[in-house]
């Protein structure tokens, strides 16, 4: 269960970063495909260059958005969400 929670946290950070334009949707999907430890390490490394969202989110998910963004159907399924618009 803890691994699933960590994976969900890492996924939420990747989605939030994509929503803020800090990483692309493709990069977010790739991060969501990684294990939580791999994703956390990459997010920490990216935070040094990419800014405060990734810096604050690397340790704990901060999934908020300033502009509308919905994950594609495959990413939405991975995140356990229902129908989304692309």
pLDDT tens-digit readout, 41-72: 766 666 665 555 544 444 444 333 334 445 56
Helices and strands (H, E) in the chain, number of each type:
5, 0
Residue 7 in domain: yes
Residue 86 in domain: no
Residue 28 in domain: yes
Domain that holds residue 11: 2-79
**Whole-model pTM above 0.85?**
no
**Number of folded domains in the chain?**
1
Residue 84 in domain: no
Cα 75-80-85 angle, rounded to 5 deg: 55
Residue 85 in domain: no
pLDDT tens-digit readout, 16-38: 777 766 677 777 777 777 666 77
20 neighbors 64 (Cβ within 8 angstroms): no
63 neighbors 17 (Cβ within 8 angstroms): no
Taking the C-alpha atoms of residue 12 and residue 24, their distance in angstroms, rounded to an integer, is: 14
């Amino acid at each position: 269960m803890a691994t699933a929670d960590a994976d969900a946290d890492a996924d939420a950070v990747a989605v939030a970063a994509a929503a803020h334009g800090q990483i692309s949707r493709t990069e977010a999907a790739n991060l969501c495909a990684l294990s939580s430890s791999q994703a956390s390490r990459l997010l920490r490394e990216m935070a040094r260059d990419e800014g405060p969202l990734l810096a604050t989110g690397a340790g704990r998910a901060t999934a908020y958005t300033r502009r509308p963004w919905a994950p594609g159907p495959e990413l939405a399924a991975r995140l356990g969400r229902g129908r989304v618009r692309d």
